Homo-oligomer: A and B are copies of this chain.
Amino acid sequence: MRACALLGGPKTQWPTDLQAFLAARQAAGDLLIGVDRGSLLLEELNLVPDLAVGDFDSLKKTELAQIEENVPDLRYSIPEKDFTDAELATKYAFVDYQVDALTLYGATGGRLDHFLTNLLMVVKSDFSQYAENIELVDQQNELRFYWPGQHLVNRLPGYTYFGVAPLTAVTGLSITGAKYELNNYTSAVPLSFASNEFLPGQDAFDLSFAKGIVAVIQTKDIDRYQSI
């Protein structure tokens, strides 16, 4: 089983047709999770989360009452805690629901403190075991995490550009079969190689490294930003 979680990030960053997509995934048996305000956003999309996690501090009484009434598994979090709501939701999904993979929506854009917490969750020792099974998706980015090893990174539909960002110290980082190659690169600090490209006619590139956690971001420009 897969899980889809909606966090409270700005709707402007949502992928197109998120409502229809999530409705179809839930109908197909995926676990649908609302993280704090994300639970309300799901309700507004006429979707009922299977699991809702949060302190719900920012919700009105009537909004919370609706969630309390129709969400089968509602779990309150404590604000001054060791784990964020998104981290708790991730734990519940993988441990209690035994999901194979988790996609986070609403995890990007808006407040940068929130985004960085979501991005760096998989670097924490409690969550690194799930790194390769978590992705962040918004309207112009699909971000996945990799452990050390050799990986064939497949091009996702609609994407040409990608970035490779070690989120920790990294050793032996190589990128082959892409526009800009990298050979056995080592860095003691995180960094981001942006604007790489899949080769014409190629639908994958090779990524390998010996140590660290690396994010690969498939990404595209969005014309509407150019014309505003």
Interface set of A (CB-CB < 8 Å, partner B): 10-12, 80, 84, 108-114, 116-117, 119-120, 123-124, 140-141, 143, 161-163, 165, 167-169, 180, 189-195, 215, 217, 219-222, 225, 228
User: Are A11 and B228 CB-contacts (below 8 A) given A191-B124, A192-B120?
Assistant: yes
Tally of this chain's copies = 2
CA distance A109 to B108 in the complex (A): 8
| CB-based contact A163/B112 at 8 Å | yes
Residues of B within 8 A of A167 (CB): 189-190
| CB-based contact B113/A225 at 8 Å | no
| CB-based contact A113/B168 at 8 Å | no
CB-defined A-B contacts under 8 Å, sample of 13: A12-B225, A108-B112, A111-B140, A111-B217, A111-B219, A112-B141, A113-B161, A117-B191, A117-B194, A120-B189, A123-B191, A124-B189, A169-B169
Residues of B within 8 A of A114 (CB): 163, 194-195, 219
Residues of B within 8 A of A123 (CB): 189-191
| CB-based contact B112/A143 at 8 Å | yes
CA distance A56 to B24 in the complex (A): 42
| CB-based contact B163/A116 at 8 Å | yes
